[in-house]
Copies of this chain bind each other. A is one copy, B any other.
Amino acid sequence: METLTEVVSKTPLLTGGSAEQKREEIRHYFHQTYTLYESLFDCINSDEAYYLRPEPLRHPLIFYFGHTAVFFINKLLLGKFQDGRLNERLESMFAIGVDEMSWDDLNSAHYDWPTVAETRAYRARVREVVDRLISEMPLTLPITQDSPAWIVLMGIEHERIHLETSSVIMRMLPLSYLNAQPLWAACAESGPAPQNSLLPVAGETLTLGKPAAAATYGWDNEYGQKAVAVPSFKVAKHLVSNGEFLAFVNAGGYGEPRFWTEEGRSWLSYTGATMPRFWSHRNGEYVQRNLLQEMPLPLDWPVEVNYLEAKAFCNWKAEQSGSHIRLPTEAEWTLLRNRLEADQPDWETAPGNINLEHFASSCPVNRFEHEGLFDVVGNVWQWTETPIDGFPGFDVHPLYDDFSTPTFDGRHNLFKGGSWISTGNEATRYSRYAFRRHFFQHAGFRYIESDSAEVPVEPVNTYETDALVAQYLEFHYGDHYFNVPNYPVACVQALMALAPSLNRGRALDLGCSVGRASFELARHFAQVDGIDFSARFIQHGFQLKESGQTRFAIPTEGELVEFKETSLEELGYAGLADRIDFVQGDACNLKPRFTGYDLVFCGNLIDRLYDPALFLSQVHERLNAGGYLVLTSPYTWLEDYTPKAKWLGGIKVNGENFTTLDGLKAALMERFELVGQQDIPFVIRETRRKFQHTLAEMTVWQLK
């Protein structure tokens, strides 16, 4: 490889006529990627540099040099496409712990790294193993996610991600450790910054998400579909240039807390930053560090900042202009991207500074134009307002189930469009990458002006990992086990059958937990209140009502989890959300306003109250005349919840066995008539193999 254009590659399609041709195409793509990755590391002129830590949030480069090779082996082993390890020590050391994709801060474990030579030799062995696998693997077209070819592509695309992230770390190494290389030559052009201006963009409704049948490899988070209505807005024709950003720096922007988010202020105070990460100020001049060299600050190149800095600039700009200046959302950016027909697998030449087709650095922001807009893709990544989240229909790949899920935490923002070194999947239309908002990559931004002060960003559906809450989410919204029907649904069906004269006005779902019975009741009642003592639980009912979906991770075995999600649409509750209110409250001390119900349903509540008799003595006040109280419970009394002196039954009274049903009758018979009684089973999954299987008793009581 001598020049960048020689290394330009296109992502192989999953489809095609000839499997053998596809096999060779994949082999070529593999070797080309592997070689390209090593050629980047060839810029390092001293093995010592492999062990430095220019970025304290990252491993030293030796890790990344080994890591992309080890990844092939570990995933192939996991997929049973490979027998046995090549090198247990390296495959452990280069795998565990810190990975940008799992976003952990570096732990302080001591790493006894191998030599560069040993690592290089290991890489060579992996190259042979993968090459042989490519020769031998069964291959039919199109390639699907369970095919060994998919795992090979996963390894290749994973290495292409690290080509970029490693280049960012190298950009932080002292220059003395690096040799300039013809292959990795920076753009030579620079000049004064162009004047930026705003262009109008017509709003429209568009659909986000990569189609399942798309012809290129995709990461889990790209798939699914989400329709978004985007109002009209105005967009800056250029990415923000160093020159434009310098005005913010010169205006004292880094010292003015009001422009910064709370997170931004924390970051400023922690780092003491006064300018972008790759700038420095020497002898009265600003200098920019590129991959392998420095240059006087190129004012017409895009500024490279993290999200927090980009957001502060927008807030400053908004104050200056008196308008709603901010970053685009993912949907707004996509609307701009949709103007470009071309996509990486198909284009003849990249329509921007991307895919290593033009430079091994940024270039002026006024060089690549499309319909008046510059740098729609390429040059630097463009931060968005949108924290990454899965689209409805999201599902993890079983061999890489933690690629995206840890980033669905509301703290990782998407950037879009790719940089000069974004290749492979990174350079495709649907690619979605997200980093913590304080991270640096080859990333900058473009701003927009909105008519509204509100930023149209939805809260992220984080994965519920609290084991008990997740257990209840699976119980309410997950799979059936042992052929036992969904319990909240079965309860509502049973009570509707046992109380046929029920009025269908207002229902109270008391002890609603994560809310399934409330939704099911909303099929039958005009209005449903779901009340639970625990905000941890009720927030999921609320989230389903508000966002239409919720996510959770349930244990499979030991610490391993399975990722699940559910949506109102899937559940058949679309359109019912408006009938339901979820409120936190105490059944034994309910606010007076919760009254006038035709039904009070208490699913698995009565044996979890601290004073069930008190509750039963007052519950009639909540009901309309002729209203129904429905209790279901397995009568599992536990001192953790109910002091023994307050148990309704399951005790000796006057020396005799006194059951909870005896206790319910004693407590309710004066005001209620027992009109129905039925056993209803339920199953709560604890792990893939362990379940609670319980038989609740439903009793239906009508107010006399």
Residues of A within 8 A of B (CB): 70, 74-75, 77-78, 91-92, 95-97, 99, 102, 401-402, 482, 556-560, 634-637, 644, 647, 649-657, 659-660, 683, 686-687, 689-697
Contacts and interface: CB of A to CB of B under 8 A. Distances in A.
Given A92-B654, A559-B651, 9 more contacts: A78-B657, A95-B655, A96-B652, A557-B660, A558-B637, A560-B659, A636-B690, A691-B692, A693-B693
B689 A635 contact: yes
B691 A693 contact: yes
Contacts of A636: 686-687, 689-690
A348 to B, nearest CB: 39
Contacts of A402: 655
B693 A683 contact: yes
A676 to B, nearest CB: 18
A401 B656 CA distance: 9
B654 A95 contact: yes
A690 B689 contact: no
Contacts of A635: 557-558, 687, 689
Contacts of A559: 644, 650-652
Contacts of A654: 70, 74, 91-92, 95-96
A660 B556 CA distance: 11
Given A651-B560, A654-B92, A691 B689 contact: no
Nearest to A693: B693
A651 B95 contact: no
Best-buried of A636, A657, A691 by chain B (most CB within 10 Å):
A657
A651 B555 CA distance: 11
B651 A558 contact: yes
A608 B654 CA distance: 42
Given A557-B660, A635-B557, A647-B558, A482 B693 contact: yes
12 contacts: A74-B656, A402-B655, A482-B482, A557-B660, A560-B652, A560-B657, A634-B689, A634-B690, A635-B687, A636-B687, A689-B695, A691-B693
A690 to B, nearest CB: 5
A78 B691 contact: no
A70 to B, nearest CB: 8
A558 B638 CA distance: 7
A105 to B, nearest CB: 16
A54 B75 CA distance: 83
A102 B696 CA distance: 32
A228 B64 CA distance: 81
Nearest to A658: B560
A92 to B, nearest CB: 5
A690 B659 CA distance: 15
A660 B691 contact: no
Nearest to A562: B657
Contact of A696 (B91, B683, B689): B689
Given A689-B634, A697-B689, A560 B96 contact: no
Contacts of A687: 634-636
A688 to B, nearest CB: 8
Given A91-B654, A95-B655, A99-B655, A558 B660 contact: yes
A663 to B, nearest CB: 10
Contacts of A644: 559
Contacts of A557: 635, 637, 649-650, 659-660
A635 B690 CA distance: 9
A598 to B, nearest CB: 29
Contacts of A657: 78, 401, 560
Nearest to A482: B693
A556 B687 CA distance: 26
A628 to B, nearest CB: 23
A134 B482 CA distance: 49
Given A654-B74, A656-B74, A558 B649 contact: yes
Nearest to A681: B482
B692 A693 contact: yes
Nearest to A691: B693
Contacts of A482: 482, 693
A636 B689 CA distance: 8
Nearest to A91: B654
A74 B662 CA distance: 14
Given A91-B654, A96-B655, A651-B560, A692 B695 contact: no
Contacts of A696: 689
A437 B626 CA distance: 61
Contacts of A693: 482, 683, 691-693
Contacts of A92: 653-654
Contacts of A690: 634, 636, 692, 694-695
Contacts of A634: 687, 689-690
A478 B655 CA distance: 27
Nearest to A99: B655
